[in-house]
Amino acid sequence: MQEGWILVYQADEEYKAEIIKQLLESSELHPVVMDRKDDEFRIGNVEVYVSPLEADAAIQLIRANSEPS
């Protein structure tokens, strides 16, 4: 991951971040997942980052897919 990438999603469960990563990849974006949980207690968040050029598209996709049906 390059410096300056933008956090577009965070979750307390790893699977949620992986779902978002797959969603973004299916739209030709290039997300990176960072596990920020404590190694011993597994407390914290898992974060999804994208490049600044992809941030707007990523945020729109995440919002569109998290709207209640």
Which pLDDT score, from 0 to 100, does residue 1 have? 65
Please check whether residue 25 lies inside any domain of the structure.
yes
Strand partners, 67: none
Q: Considering only CA atoms, which of 16, 15, 29 is closest in space to residue 59? A: 29
Domain that holds residue 34: 6-66
d(CA 59, CA 55): 6
Average pLDDT of the segment spanning 5-12:
96
Identify the pLDDT of residue 69. 52
Residues 18-23: what's their mean pLDDT? Answer: 97
1 assigned to some structural domain:
no
Quick check: 7 and 48 in contact, CB under 8 A? yes
Segment 47-52 shows an average pLDDT of: 97
In a domain, 60, yes or no: yes
* pTM for the predicted model, two decimal places: 0.86
Q: How many domains does the chain have?
A: 1
